[in-house]
Structure 1
Amino acid sequence: MDKLLQYGRELLELELHEAQKLPARLGKDFVKACQLILSTKGKVVVSGIGKSGHIGKKIAASLASTGSPAFFMHPSEALHGDLGMVTENDVVILISYSGRAKEFQFILPILAGMNIPVIAITGGLDSPLALAAQAVLDISIEKEACPMGLAPTSSSTNTLLMGDALAIAVMRARGFKEEDFARSHPAGSLGAKLLNHVKDIMRKGDLIPSVPQSATVLDAMLELSRTGVGLVAICKDGNKIVGVFTDGDLRRLLLKHGTLQDKIIDVMTSPGYQIPETWKAVEALKSFNDHNITAAPVVNNHGELVGALNIHDLHQAGIG
């Protein structure tokens, strides 16, 4: 057990030691790499083989999700047709620790012929890849954390960190915001919070609890039971809200010896709290919390009843 802990700690210490050298290496080439990505009219094409390829896929995904359209291209597949996906408007990131990957020897002349700028992420600063690139990001290490010095460990970590630095620097330069991030992550919790509006998740049609102003408390109670929203809207002329009546209002009425035959217009809360359909769902949640309520009718720009929303609807949509 002690040996296992020792092995793990030694690896982490070695990788952290190598990674700590990276910030000082960022300079003109890093700025140039960012500018190439920011100015491209096409996509960022990332390529690497072996462990570099695995890291490259992550870098491409990070770029794509933070505002820089990108995709990963396997070097071997590139030599058998996939180079056709690269256009003269693109910028290419090639990853090779040695800078001497055989596949790149064939790819680099083609990219040069198309005047496509190349960003190299490499530890071989005098390699063919580095010499052919317009910007070179130095990920060189003194020692791999693997005790045999064979398995890419420190070098893979440096590659990953350099890719993250590139993606996030470009993201910040673009002024990329939470709403932009949510659009590329619509199924995530952030997407649910920032993209969903009240009108997207509210109850509609027959699921809207409402009774006319001529109704009795019994009518309202039956509507409360039918819909399970927690409130009923009292309306005139079909969809103009004049008040609301909640489960809590019903309990308090009965405790005060009110009857189910009472007119709803005499015991309702008028005009009652309402929320606009144009609000973001997260705004509705905040409003519920601020007013200590769990449900509200939803109105359009003309103040007409168009839906109903309760706290459970918000939670089911991944909000809150």
Structure 2
Amino acid sequence: MTETSPKDFRTSALQAIRIERQAIEALEERIDDEFIKACEVIMQCKGRVVVTGMGKSGHIGNKIAATLASTGTPAFFVHPGEASHGDLGMITSQDVVIAISNSGNTSEVVTILPLIKRMGAPLISMTGNASSTLAKEAVANLDVSVQTEACPLGLAPTSSTTATLVMGDALAVALLGARGFSAEEFAFSHPGGSLGRRLLLHVSDIMHVGDRIPRVQEGTPLSGALLEISRKGLGMTTVLDARGKLTGVFTDGDLRRTLDKNLDVHTTPIEDVMTRNGKTIEADHLAAEALNIMEEMKINALPVTNAQGELVGAINMHDLLRAGVI
């Protein structure tokens, strides 16, 4: 084994990146009629998109299927070897099959082509060989050929798998746009992740309600407001007038400013030191919106109102943290 210097590592890595970048750039001119045909076939599909591929192509196919499924195109992956031993039953005539093979002649994939054709499922190929068996049997072939692999031996699938992955992403994004797939629909596919929580969780899902809402009436001395803040533990209290209408809030920050004025906490009414016309949020808004308001205003809590402006709850930064919105 020859001695390798840090410079050699860097040179090899940069060369690999350049080769793979060139492979990606070459895809732009291949967003052609074949690509459009593939999109149209999938848009007309009444079943699901079944992705198959062997070896490294299979790994890429798994990711493409997952991306399609999470962006509005129901899809799953079937291993071509397993398909020949029973899993072919997972494919129906209502489905569309995307078969991936750089050579286009992978035996495990070619073996199941007659059966796919017999059941009437449209076949889309992703190959590096437009003259291959796979490409010729497909209703649309997506060209993912590369001039060279990033592997200096020209053996390990590198730039070819990258090109295939990017073409799969391009297909998924094109279909997403055609379907008008929304961020909320995306979130429904990702309810367990932080993105799903940010897009699906509403203020009403996590706000404090009823007796847990910190509130005092106008005329309450500052000392009484401090007790309410301490009891409810949200770092603030709302202030209501005689009719129960929200007129202000008093926060930890207001307290610090008040103490600087040397006011008597036992005689000073809360309305003299509260913040009037403070920020609020409605209960049906996303919790992520509450977070944005708090961060923008540099505050830690918000009163929650309904469409009529009536106080219905309260929420603070700790609630958002516990809910995973932050």
TM band (smaller chain): 0.7 to 0.9
1:203 aligned to 2:225?
A: no
TM-score by length of 2: 0.86
SS in 2 for 1:308: strand
Structure 1, gaps ≥5 residues long? none
Range with greater deviation from structure 2 (113-122 or 195-204): 195-204
Task: Please give the alpha-carbon distance, in whole angstroms, between the structure 2 residues aligned to 1:237 and 1:311.
Answer: 29
Q: Call closer, same or farther: CA 1:24–1:218 in 2, change over 3 Å.
A: same
Q: Specify the alignment match of 1:181 in structure 2.
A: 186
Shift of residue 144 of structure 1? 2.5
Deviation (angstroms), 1:55: 0.5
SS in 2 for 1:136: strand
1:80–1:206 CA distance, 2 compared to 1 (3 A): farther
After the TM superposition, which of the residue ranges 260-269 and 38-47 deviates more from structure 2?
A: 260-269
Distance 2:112 2:20 in 1: 31
Tell me: CA distance 1:60–1:256, structure 2 relative to 1, closer, same or farther (3 Å). Answer: same
Report if the CA contact (8 A) 1:198-1:276 is conserved: yes
**8 A Cα contact 1:231 1:246, kept in partner:** yes
Quote the RMSD (CA, aligned, Å): 2.7
Any idea what the Cα deviations from partners look like across 1:87-144, whole Å, max 9, x if unmatched? 2221110001122222223321222122110100012322221121111111223332
* Superposition pairs of residues 58-137 of structure 1, within 5 angstroms: 58-137=63-142
Alignment of 1:218 onto 2:213: no
1:142 corresponds, among 147, 170, 177, to 147
Q: Is the Cα–Cα contact under 8 Å of residues 54 and 109 in structure 2 kept in the other structure?
A: no
Evaluate the alpha carbon distance shift between residue 246 and residue 107 of structure 1 in structure 2; reply closer, same or farther with a 3 A threshold. same
One-letter amino acid of the structure 1 residue matched with residue 283 of structure 2: E
Residue 306 of structure 1 corresponds to which residue in structure 2? Answer: 312
Within the candidate set 4, 10, 19, 1:5 is matched to 10
Deviates more, 1:304-313 or 1:86-95: 304-313
Kindly tell me: are residues 72 and 243 of structure 1, through their superposed partners in 2, closer, same or farther at Cα, counting changes over 3 Å?
Answer: same
Q: Please tell me whether the aligned partners of residues 43 and 91 of structure 1 are also in contact (alpha carbons under 8 angstroms).
A: yes
Q: Could you report, residue by residue, the CA deviation over 1:27-47 in whole angstroms, capped at 9, with x for unpaired residues? A: 211111111112212211111
Match of 1:278 in 2: 284
Report the Cα distance in structure 2 between the residues aligned to 1:62 and 1:258, rounded to whole angstroms: 62
Identity %: 51
Matches within 5 A, 1:22-33: 22-33=27-38
- For residues 35-86 of structure 1, give each alpha carbon's deviation from its aligned partner in whole angstroms, at most 9, with x where no partner exists: 1112212211111010000010111111112221111111122222222222
How far does residue 212 in structure 1 lie from its aligned partner after superposition?
A: 4.5
Structure 2 gap ranges (5+): none
Counterparts of 1:26 and 1:268 in 2: how far apart (Å)? 61
Q: Does 1:193 align with 2:198?
A: yes
Deviates more, 1:206-215 or 1:196-205: 206-215
**Whole-Å separation in 2 of the counterparts to 1:173 and 1:272:** 42
Task: Tell me, yes or no, if the aligned pair for 2:214 and 2:234 is still in contact at 8 Å.
Answer: yes
Give, in whole Å, the separation in 1 of the partners of 2:140 and 2:119: 17
Three-state SS of the structure 2 residue aligned to 1:296 is strand
Instruction: Call closer, same or farther: CA 1:215–1:134 in 2, change over 3 Å.
Output: same
Residue 161 (1) aligns with residue 166 (2):
yes
Secondary structure of the residue aligned to 2:124 is strand
- CA distance in 1 between partners of 2:272 and 2:9 (Å): 75
